[in-house]
Amino acid sequence: MDELLSEKEQIEVMRDWWRENGRYVIGGIVLGVGILVGWNQWKEYRLTARLEASARYETLAKQVSGGMLEASEATANELYENYGSTSYAALARLAMARLYMDRGRDQDAADTLNALLAIRGGAESQMVGRLRLAKIYLYQDKPQDVVDLLSGFEDSAFAARYNELLGDAHTALGQITDAAAAYKRAMADDPRAPTVNRSLIQMKIVDLPDDEPAMDGAAAEEPAADESVEPAADEIVEPAVDSGDDQ
């Protein structure tokens, strides 16, 4: 009898607990199911978006290969606006920059690559974009922009290529010591799997001037000739006679 009463008491306790907490249990189950369904829907949405972006990028690649500028710009803008969080948007900027350069629109190419570098994420695409933008700056005769762009990235995965371009920029700026240092860093690239033309870089090093250009005012530090001293008679040089031949 006591056992029967004990079971009844247990059932009553369970009923009381359910009356107090049952709605929370049901709510938790509903919430868990909702989260699971939402997560699956989100994954499906992401997958669908990536597939759509991939298809649009394939279209863009064909348009770029065919030199269809206006069609390429329309497709690229669609990728930027609708699929900007995917890697295909970054690849689209690289493709458009190349097309602009092929068309001689170097500033449009530079603007496109700068937009790529301003996006968060996409480190690999941005490394390629930084490399190509530096080459455009050299083409535009903007060596200081190259230095500003690549400084701080000398030890990245693209170190050898970046350092070669830094060497070119420093050479153009007359910063011979910095140029030599950059070229030597580029030469540290693994010779078994080089990413740069080591022979070409060695030639650039050999062609560097021995000294950096003299600073302004350096000539003023040279001692002036003593005008009070008369030249000896045998030191006087007669002016050359103009033969009248222009060359």
pLDDT top residue among 25 and 187: 187
Q: Is residue 8, in this structure, part of any structural domain at all?
A: no
Q: Is residue 96, in this structure, part of any structural domain at all?
A: yes
Q: CA-CA distance, 214 to 218, in Å (whole number)? A: 6
Q: Is residue 116, in this structure, part of any structural domain at all?
A: yes
**Number of structural domains the chain divides into:** 2
Q: What is the mean pLDDT of residues 151-174?
A: 92
43 and 108 both lie in a single domain: yes
Q: CA-CA distance, 109 to 117, in Å (whole number)? A: 13
46 and 81 both lie in a single domain: yes
26 and 93 both lie in a single domain: yes
Query: What is the per-residue pLDDT across 24-83, written as a single tens digit (0 to 9) for each?
Result: 667 777 667 667 656 655 666 566 778 899 999 999 999 999 999 999 999 999 999 999
**Residue range(s) defining the domain that contains residue 193:** 141-211
Phi-psi region of 141 (alpha: psi -120 to 50; beta: other; left: phi over 0): left
User: How large a percentage of the chain has pLDDT more than 90?
Assistant: 54
108 and 160 both lie in a single domain: no
Residue 29 exposure: Cα atoms within 13 Å on the Cβ side: 5
pLDDT of the residue at 60: 96
pLDDT top residue among 36 and 225: 36
Say whether pLDDT at 239 is over 60: no
Q: CA-CA distance, 171 to 116, in Å (whole number)? A: 28
Query: What is the per-residue pLDDT across 101-116, written as a single tens digit (0 to 9) for each?
Result: 999 999 999 999 999 9
Q: Where are the alpha helices (DSSP H) in 140-235?
A: 143-150, 159-172, 176-187, 198-207
- The single residue listed with the structure tokens 């011979």 is 176
Query: What is the per-residue pLDDT across 122-153, written as a single tens digit (0 to 9) for each?
Result: 788 999 999 999 999 999 999 999 999 999 88
pLDDT of the residue at 19: 72
Q: Is residue 225, in this structure, part of any structural domain at all?
A: no
38 and 93 both lie in a single domain: yes
